[in-house]
Amino acid sequence: MCGEIMIQIEKLTVRLGEFNIRDINLRIGEGEYVVILGPTGAGKSVLLECIAGICIPDSGTVRLRGRDVTRYNPEKRNIGYVPQDYALFPNMTVRQNIGYGLKTRKIPASDIQANVSAMMEQLGITHLEKRLPLKLSGGEKQRAALGRALITEPDILLLDEPLSALDENLRSQLAGELRRIQQRLNRSFLHVCHNFDEAAMVADRIAIMRQGSIEQTGTISEILTKPSSLFIAEFTRTLNFHQGTAETVPGGCRIKTAAGQIIHSAETSAVGPVTFGIRPEELFLTNDDNGSSGVNNLTARVARVLFRPSSLEVELDAGFPLIACHPRNGEFYRKVGEGDVLRVFFRPEAVMVFPGCRGGAG
Amino acid sequence: MSGEKRSDNRLTDTGRFTGVLFPAFFYTAVVLLVLGSCWLFLSNAGELFPKKLAGFHDMDLWRRTGRAGLFAGGFWKDSVFWRSLNVSFVTSTLTAVIAAIVGIPAAYALSRFRIPGRSVIDILFSSVIVLPASSVGLCLIITCQYGIVRKIQDALNVHFAHSVFPGIIMAQLVLSLAMGLSAWKAAFDRVNPRFEHVARSLGSSRWRAFLTVTLPLSRTGLVAGFILAWTRAMAEFGAVLLFCGTFSELPLSHFSPLLKNMHLHQADILPVAMWTAIEYGEVEYGIGIAFALVMISSISIYSIHRMGGKGYVW
């Protein structure tokens, strides 16, 4: 987290019938881009509405630059809000939409026009000024909505799934643009989404939410390498989950799988029945018998090879199924075919261990 | 990009075809149908209904007033018809205005807030729409003619029943408000509350957000609801008849100077006038009024549908 604390959420609780948001704690620094990531129904949008002032929490506080704004009306908070569908006012042109927030601030009309023109130029939408929202594409709508929210210079901008309605190519293009705008304006952004790739493209930090509470907060690297729970490991696309029995050894633990293989992990606290997982990109393949030695070196037969646009996915049978995923470069990966017998090896640090058994793993 | 433009042009061509030719066919058919119906009705009315209706004692009275000789096609020449239209128009407009003043804020509240018992209010108003209007009139009589409400009226020397103001308006208001409320609530429901949330996050108060965003977006629906409430008030029969009776033969002393100046005395609203005409044996005259009512309702519903074409479907 960088700079001054822009927004601080403490023990925020909202009761919504059977669904509750419980004890949310989150801090966002000035100029920081934080993404709240979670599956549908995790309570992300409700949390965003509480911060915006649309929904009043049952308990807890929302502090903006140290000021308690929990009970403030939305218009008193100076928080920008861009909903999922952008909610551009259909009865106004792009210029009128962007200037709307300034009109409420009783700024002279000439200043409003100048500010709106400058904002439209900055976002590259000057040519759209007389268009109605109905006539805009997804990307144009997004820029107009951003301009409308940013022109009032909010302390923080809340973005509720701003890219979810777009196709994959446009999504990655606009995610990059969002990040560039945020860095250029040096504003704090809080972005909600359910897509890990989208979060990884823009975020300084990620908070993962599940069933109304935040399970883990950290940088992308921290979340990928040290997921705090099996749910987060699964959500961030760790594959190769299997069950076994762990016993402590110096520098980590040794897991005996149901099929009898021995897997070494750097995790020191695991004992008894466990579920372990390995990210597909952490599995290395070689057809050289002397290519690797020591722990976590298994013999496997290639069951299936899938060519993805940017990677090669290899399904292996090592006594238990494994999936390896690598960039499609290098001579070896071009030659790998179904039925080949290979060596699979991976670092003990790449083996994530979670206590207990996962349903369906094995 | 060019592909998109070509596709747009194709759409525009199709739109031009359906936008000009289809309405042209439709309007021609409607105009022919209406003209044909009018011609048939006016030319055959005399033959369809016999001039002499035996057994109606009051026929002589009505003949003496000089109106019995009028057949349906000539109802517009009768001053009583125009007075009835006047009463109907004035009371319906007042009713619709009152319904709008009460109903639009209520509809907004029902659409936007979590009001305790909201479903009960919804069911109550929806059930009023399908309730027989005469039972509404009976309920009004029971409420206003007995107990504390009657005592208050006596004390103030104001009587609701058998009065133009507020009798007819009270009777019209119940169903008109129920109808208007449904339409206005539907109009607000169609406006995404997100627009207001965003407007408020941009610094607008709730009131300003309503005025600048929700109201312009729901305007067509609100106007359609007003027309619907007005039309329902115009067509009200059962409740008015039971609560207010008829006025056409009441002595002049029954009416206030204001009513006399507005020419609202000694005339009934159109549906009651139609019923009175048929009761007194002037079937042609009654049918004439029915024809006028059908035309008024048709024009109202047509204007609502026209608005539907601009983005609002009730």
The answer to whether A198 and A25 have CB atoms below 8 angstroms apart is no
Write the DSSP string, B82-126: HHHHHHHHHHHHHHHHHHHHHHHHHHHHHHHS--TTHHHHHHHHH
Q: Show the DSSP H helices in chain A as ranges.
A: 44-52, 94-103, 109-123, 138-150, 168-185, 196-202, 220-225, 230-235, 331-335
Q: Which residues of A touch B213 (CB under 8 A)?
A: 89, 91
**Average pLDDT for A6-16:** 91
- Find the residue in A nearest to B216 (Cα): A91
Residue B190 one-letter amino acid: R
A336 compared with A80, residue with greater pLDDT? A80
Per-residue model confidence (pLDDT) at position A207: 94
Domains of chain A: 5-232 (3.40.50.300), 238-355 (2.40.50.100)
Question: Residue B10: pLDDT above 70?
Answer: no
Do the beta carbons of residue B230 and residue B300 sit within 8 Å?
yes
8 Å CB contact of B199 and A89: yes
Mean pLDDT for the stretch of residues A137-146: 88
Taking 70 as the threshold, does the pLDDT of residue B194 lie above it? yes
More confident residue, A29 or B311: A29
Query: What does the pLDDT read at residue B43?
Result: 59
C-beta of residue A318 within 8 angstroms of C-beta of residue A343? no
Grouping H, G, I as helix, E, B as strand and the rest as coil, residue A193 is: strand
Confidence at residue B52, expressed as pLDDT on a 0 to 100 scale: 47
Q: If you average pLDDT over every residue of chain A, what do you get?
A: 86
pLDDT band at B9 (very low <50, low <70, confident <90, very high): very low
Q: How confident is the model at residue A159 (pLDDT cuts 50, 70, 90)?
A: very high
Q: What percent of chain A has pLDDT over 70?
A: 96
pLDDT at B267: 72
**Nearest CA distance, B289 vs chain A (angstrom):** 42
**pLDDT for res A2:** 52
Position A358 scores a pLDDT of: 67
Arithmetic mean of pLDDT, A246-264? 82
Concatenated DSSP letters for A251-293?
TEEEEEETTS-EEEES-SS--EEEEEEE-GGG-EEES-TTS--
Residue B49 has pLDDT above 70, yes or no: no
Chain segment A286-325, per-residue pLDDT in tens: 877 665 557 888 888 999 888 877 788 889 988 888 998 8
Helix (H, G, I), strand (E, B) or coil at A162: coil
Report the pLDDT averaged over residues B202-228. Answer: 92
Between A145-149, A221-225, A331-335, the lowest mean confidence (pLDDT) is in A331-335
Is the CA virtual torsion A220, A222, A224, A227 positive or negative?
A: negative
- pTM of the predicted model, to two decimals? 0.73
Q: Which of B195, B203, B205 sits opposite A89 (nearest CB)?
A: B195
Quote the CA–CA distance of A8 and A190 in Å, as a whole number: 12
Match 């409607």 to its residue by tokens.
B30
State the DSSP string of B3-30.
Answer: HHHHHHHHHHHHHHHHHHHHHHHHHHHH
Lowest mean pLDDT among A310-324, B112-126, B136-150: B112-126
What is the rounded distance in angstroms from the CA atom of residue A18 to the CA atom of residue A20? 7
Residue A148 banded pLDDT, cuts 50, 70, 90: very high
Q: Comparing B6-10, B127-131, B291-295, which segment has the lowest mean pLDDT? A: B6-10
Mean pLDDT of A333-357: 84
Stretch among A163-172, B24-33, B165-174, B302-311 having the lowest mean pLDDT: B302-311
pLDDT of residue A19: 84
Is residue A53's pLDDT more than 80? yes
Chain B nearest C-alpha distance from A321 (Å): 46
Instruction: Identify the weakest region by mean pLDDT among A41-45, A172-176, A313-317, B187-191.
Output: A172-176
pLDDT confidence tier of residue B21, bands split at 50, 70 and 90: confident
For chain B, what is the mean pLDDT? Answer: 77
Query: ipTM, 2 decimals?
Result: 0.79
Contact A73 B200 (CB under 8 A): yes
pLDDT at B310 over 60: no
∠ CA A348-A353-A359, nearest 5°, is 135
- Which residues in chain B touch residue A104, judged by CB atoms under 8 angstroms apart? 202-204, 208
- For chain B, say whether A147 makes contact (Cβ under 8 Å): no
Find the CB nearest B197 among A74, A90, A100.
A74
Q: Does the structure show a pLDDT above 50 at B55?
A: no
Residue A85 sits at the chain B interface (C-beta within 8 Å): yes
| Chain B residues within an 8 Å CB radius of A16 | none
How large is the average pLDDT for residues A343-359?
83
Long-range contacts, A225-234 (Cβ 8 Å, 24+): A227/A352, A229/A354, A230/A275, A230/A277, A230/A354, A230/A358, A232/A208, A233/A277, A233/A352, A233/A354, A234/A277
Best residue of B191, B196, B202, B219 to probe chain A, by most A CBs closer than 10 Å: B202
Q: What type of residue sits at position B81?
A: F
Chain A residues near residue B194 by CB distance under 8 angstroms: 83, 85, 87
Q: Is A333 on the interface with B (CB under 8 A)?
A: no
Residue A262 bridge partners (DSSP): A256
Element (H, E) at A241: strand A239-249
* Secondary structure of B116-165 in HEC code, one letter for each residue: CCHHHHHHHHHHHHHCCHHHHHHHHHHHHHCHHHHHHHHHHCCCCCCCHH
Q: Which two tokens stand for residue A101?
A: 């927030």
Between A88 and B282, the higher pLDDT residue: A88
* 3-state secondary structure at position B52: coil
- Three-state DSSP class for A80? strand
For residue B11, pLDDT over 70 is answered with no
> One-letter amino acid identity for B55?
G
Q: Please provide the DSSP assignment of A134-147 as one string.
A: GG--HHHHHHHHHH
Pick B130 or A13 by higher pLDDT. A13
